[in-house]
Chains A and B, each alone.
Chain A
Amino acid sequence: MFVDTVIEDKALHKPAFLIGLSLTVLAIFFALNFTNSLFGEFLRPVIGDPTESGFFGRFAVSLVLTIIFVLNLFAISFFKLKVQVAIVWLELFLLFLAFAYSFDLKMSFIQSRIPLMITRGLFTTIYISAISIVLATVIAIIGAIAKLSNNGFAYAISSFYTSLFRGLPLLLQLFLIYKGLPQLGFMVDAVPAAITALSLCYGAYMTEIFRAGIQSIPRGQWEASRALGFKFNLILRKIILPQAVPIIIPPTGNQFIAMLKDSSLASVLGVWELMYLARTLGQRDFRHMEMLLTAAMIYWALTIVLEVIQARIEEKYKQKS
């Protein structure tokens, strides 16, 4: 990407834009009606009982919210980019916490269940995802090469495979493997079934990513290699793949992140991974929200870890070139 060297005036510093923004935000807040929320409660001294405050109350709440919102944006606009990012992240995170807090969570309940969530749930989730990621990558490399080959069988099999496994919902694949294979005489446990389904499904998506990555390498690289007398396997391994990998990494990282969360589908087979525990641990005590939010935070944290790893790898390749 290219960031232009000429700095334009900030939109937020133009009165016309500020007024337009304020009116739009006001309209949205008014439409959403926050009178009965925490904000209405804060304004009780002014508008009286929020539920009884009618049009005036609703308008006052919207107006106050709009002023806070726009002033906040205006203030942030004076900071440097990095600081802006940090502030906005923090604010959004606080909003998310406020959302969670609004459920009147019982922290002691979370604390008592979290060890099991982690030792059993998180462990199983990571275990399933990690194996699936490795298997899907292997499948994708083979699938991509098969799709690019002149061998009729290889092409037919790999294109049939990607078509089928991209064409069925993952949940359906999961059931087909778990319930179908035993009827053919292969007993499969829930965890291997989940790993198989995830690997095959994501292997199919990643086959296409790898294929496109390999094909994006200019023809001249093949020609120069051929002219030197290199054979197909050598060209692929030493010339094409090393150049394709940096192109493949971002979409592959995306797939890994998606797969991590789709491992939650294993919960329908009764596998004790994060999602399953999140749904069941809170059931008896009617503490659903506590467990769901805890699982949410764990998934999110895992995703951030993957994002950081991906960014590191991308950075490494950027330095090299």
Chain B
Amino acid sequence: MMDTKTNIPNNTEMTPVISLKGVSKWYGDFQALSNIDLEIKLKEKIVICGPSGSGKSTLIRCLNRLEAHQEGTIHVSGIELHERMKDIDVVRQDIGMVFQSFNLFPHLTVLENCMAGPNWVRGVDKSKAKERAIAMLEQVKIPEQADKYPEQLSGGQQQRVAIARSLCMQPKVMLFDEPTSALDPEMVAEVLDTMIELAKSGMTMICVTHEMGFARQVADRIVFMADGEIVEQNSPEEFFNNPQHERTKVFLDQILK
């Protein structure tokens, strides 16, 4: 089920889907990101963690240019993201994003939420979009909620709809910014399960999360940030068993307590 309109060139396993070189960002005088270098390959699963305020959200939001960086370069599938680019919307259509606060459209039903993107900007006709929406809702295991409005769903259900909404765009990459931190503990698992399924299907994923069990199970690489810098990045095994930096050790001590 490929879109007729494929926006960004297809990647081989070798070329990075996303690459950042020397990226820095300031909020006024405050430097939120400093000199970030990062490459993410096709089908790779990255988990970004770090203390609050370390710049994780800022980083992930730079990847679809919800935030602007001031120095360095960011390439998504070979297209550079910059201030004067013409086709940012086209790039964004290929990058799914899931927010901490779901951000579903409250005036649309679950089904309409999922149909909106493909139908409005991908040129998919209504019946096709609906077919796809139902398939994605089945994938996140809530097809029976299709005709409800978001506020009638639990937090966990809403977040799964948000994932389905992104998947309907058939993105090349999925970004997650703390998708489970607004949820009650008993709902965290259902969202994580959905994300694990998605990982198994081969999706390229970048997740900001503090769910270390998820990271251990899914991540190819864990990126640890502090004070706007990448302090260390490693495979889960190395990261948990053999952290290199003092800050990483302190962070792991706190979070795994």
Contacts and interface: CB of A to CB of B under 8 A. Distances in A.
A229 B99 contact: no
Interface stretch (B9-17, B33-41, B114-122): B114-122
Contacts of B151: 321
Given A234-B120, A238-B116, A229 B107 contact: no
B147 interface: no
A223 B121 contact: no
Given A220-B103, A239-B105, A229 B117 contact: yes
B101 A220 contact: yes
A226 interface: yes
Contact of A229 (B90, B106, B149, B162): B90
Interface of A is mostly: helix
B66 A223 contact: yes
Given A220-B99, A224-B162, 10 more contacts: A226-B64, A229-B90, A230-B89, A230-B117, A230-B120, A234-B120, A234-B121, A238-B116, A238-B120, A243-B107
Contact of B121 (A220, A224, A228, A243): A228
A295 to B, nearest CB: 42
26 contacts: A220-B101, A220-B103, A223-B66, A223-B99, A223-B103, A224-B99, A224-B104, A226-B64, A226-B66, A227-B64, A227-B66, A228-B116, A228-B166, A228-B169, A229-B91, A229-B92, A229-B121, A230-B120, A230-B121, A231-B121, A234-B120, A234-B121, A238-B120, A243-B107, A321-B106, A321-B107
A224 B105 contact: yes
Interface in A213-235: 218, 220-221, 223-224, 226-231, 234
B93 interface: yes
Contacts of B32: none
A182 interface: no
A242 interface: yes
Which of B92, B97, B105, B149 is the most central at the interface, judged by chain A CB atoms within 10 Å of its CB? B105
A43 B72 CA distance: 93
B95 A227 contact: yes
Contacts of B116: 228, 238
A228 B93 contact: yes
A254 B99 CA distance: 37
B152 to A, nearest CB: 10
B97 A227 contact: yes
Nearest to A228: B117
A318 to B, nearest CB: 13
Contacts of B91: 229
Interface in B60-110: 64, 66, 89-93, 95-97, 99, 101, 103-107
A158 to B, nearest CB: 26
Contacts of A221: 103, 105
A224 B99 CA distance: 8
B107 A227 contact: no
Interface string A230-269: 1100100011001100000000000000000000000000
Contacts of A224: 97, 99, 103-105, 162
Contacts of A238: 116, 120
A221 B93 CA distance: 16
A316 to B, nearest CB: 13
A6 to B, nearest CB: 27
Nearest to B168: A228
Contacts of A223: 66, 99, 103
Interface in A193-229: 218, 220-221, 223-224, 226-229
Nearest to A232: B89
A228 B171 CA distance: 10
Contacts of B93: 228-229
B106 A228 contact: no
A123 B101 CA distance: 52
A218 B99 CA distance: 13
A321 B103 contact: no
Which of A228, A231, A239, A321 is the most central at the interface, judged by chain B CB atoms within 10 Å of its CB? A228
The 3 A-B residue pairs with the shortest CB-CB distance in the complex, in nearest-first order: A229-B93, A224-B103, A229-B92
A234 B151 CA distance: 23
B105 A321 contact: no
Contacts of A229: 89-93, 117, 121, 169
Contacts of B169: 228-229
Contacts of B66: 223, 226-227
A206 B116 CA distance: 30
B235 to A, nearest CB: 29
A227 B173 CA distance: 12
A221 B113 CA distance: 12
B52 to A, nearest CB: 19
Nearest to A220: B103
Contacts of A234: 120-121
A231 to B, nearest CB: 6
Nearest to B94: A229
